[in-house]
Structure 1
Amino acid sequence: MTFVLEEISPSDHEKYQLTDKNPFTYNSVQSNEWLIDRERNMYFRKLGGRRRDDPYVMEFHCFWRGALLAICFDCRLEYITPRDVKVKWRYGGGDPLPVNLRPYINEFHADLKEALTLYKSSGLGSPFDSYVVEFDF
């Protein structure tokens, strides 16, 4: 299976015991959508971001191989045409992988890239016709 970009159902919210607090800012989570791969029991959820002090930073929770990680990314858009963009994702910090998962760093990065490619620039609300996605991690 692969990631699905969808709104989080109330039953999934309860099943995965999702918190409504952003661990970076302690503000409420701004989005009720996620990328989930039910077969791999993995999800990627936007917590917030595009803050006034740094409008390019986006914050996510990633549940991967039993570990819940808070991760920041720098997201920059480069317009190709008014309806087509290049999205550049750069790792901006967050929780390190637990020691037992560090041997799998390449698989972790591949899964993050898969999720961010589907997320495009802003999840379900992504407004552009086409995307080119690049990564700096």
Structure 2
Amino acid sequence: MPFVNEYISPEDAARYHLAEIDASCRSGGISRQWTIDREQDIYLRILSRGLEAETKHEGVWSFHWKGTLVTVRLDLLDGKGKPGQPGWSHWLLVRLNGTSGLPPALGPYKRSVIESLKQALLAYKDAGVLSGNTDYTVTLDIGRECVL
């Protein structure tokens, strides 16, 4: 089953301990939706976005990859697409787990983790459950300072 965008059920919130994740986040606008692949046990969920004009394209996300939670800083560099039309977005992976990179247990799966992140962003499109785009493409670059 591929990634899908959906609102988070109370049962899923409890299963993935989202209240604990939310409590550790300083943002008050944590998303109640996610992009999830249930078969692979992978989800992507926005935790916070920049509030100022110069930071509004910066975001911190929780990325649960097969039992391991990773905090991801993604910056939206550009994107286009109106509802009912194809769209695209260009993302920059700035940081994983702050500046420490992937947990050691995920080291051997680095390529798979990054590919899963790209596939989740592709399904997320421009707004998750609120996305109105039809076809979509994603470019995901890895920042020079990003430790994998």
Q: What is the aligned residue count? A: 135
Give the aligned residue type for 2:106: L
Q: RMSD of the alignment, in Å?
A: 2.2
TM-score by length of 1: 0.84
Q: TM-score, normalised by structure 2?
A: 0.79
Contact 1:37 1:43 in 2 (8 A): yes
User: Which consecutive unaligned segments of at least 5 residues does structure 1 have?
Assistant: none
Which amino acid letter does the alignment assign opposite residue 93 of structure 1?
A: R
The alignment-based identity, stated in percent, is 31
Which segments of structure 1 move beyond 6 Å, counting only runs of 4 or more? none
Flag the 1:120–1:50 CA change in 2: closer, same or farther, 3 A: farther
Higher strand share: 1
3-state DSSP of counterpart to 1:109: helix
Is contact 1:35-1:44 (8 Å) kept? yes
Structure 2, unaligned stretches of length 5 or more?
143-148
Superposed, 1:1-137 pairs within 5 Å as 1-19=1-19, 20-21=22-23, 23=25, 26-52=26-52, 53-79=54-80, 84-95=86-97, 96-128=101-133, 130-137=135-142
**Which sits farther off after the overlay, 119-128 or 91-100?**
119-128
Structure with larger RCO (C-alpha < 8 A, sep 6+): 2
TM-aligned CA deviation for residue 16 of structure 1:
1.4
